[in-house]
Amino acid sequence: MGGRGGSEDSFARALLVSVLPVVGVLVGCVIGWYTCTWGVQTFRDVFEVPELSPLPVRDRAPGVPGPTLGYWLSWAVPILTVYGVGSLLLWKWRRGRLVLGAALGGFSLVLLFLVPTWVSIEVGGFAPD
């Protein structure tokens, strides 16, 4: 009895199908974290986007500039790049759709929680009173 049984193959396949989405979500979360931290900061460094004032809005001097177009692009370009590449891979790579869909879901979860908080702190100021 050296051959593989059908039940062993189906068990291995079922295990793989149940584990791959979890791996995809975890990978997507990691990619989301690095996109929001490293990707955004690298964009700002490369394109010399000016830093925002750390003072709360109510304590800023009149005429202090707010977020520029470069600031908003530093958030949009890395995120849209990941979504664009992920969507192309999702469209072309049939065998990886399960993992890629889960990865894009994990990526989106990180973005939904991290980006609004981070932007609020940067735009609104974060210095103590």
Residue 14 lies in a domain: no
For residues 125 and 54, the answer to whether their CB atoms sit within 8 Å is: yes
Q: Is residue 52 part of a domain?
A: yes
For residue 86, tell me if it sits in a domain: yes
Q: What is the pTM assigned to this prediction? A: 0.84
How distant, in Å, are the alpha carbons of 6, 7, 17, 18, 86 from that of 12?
10, 9, 9, 10, 27
**Does residue 100 belong to any structural domain of this protein?**
yes
pLDDT tens, residue by residue, 11-51: 888 888 889 999 999 999 999 999 999 999 999 999 999 99
Count the domains in the chain: 1
pLDDT digits (tens, 9 = 90+) for 100-111: 999 999 999 999
Residue type (1 letter), 85: V
Asked whether residue 93 is assigned to any structural domain, the reply reads: yes
| Residue 76, domain extent | 22-56+65-124
Region of 51 please: left (phi>0), alpha (psi -120 to 50) or beta.
beta
As a 3-state breakdown, the chain gives helix, strand, coil percent values, each rounded to 5, of 75, 0, 25
84 found inside a domain:
yes
42 in a structural domain? yes
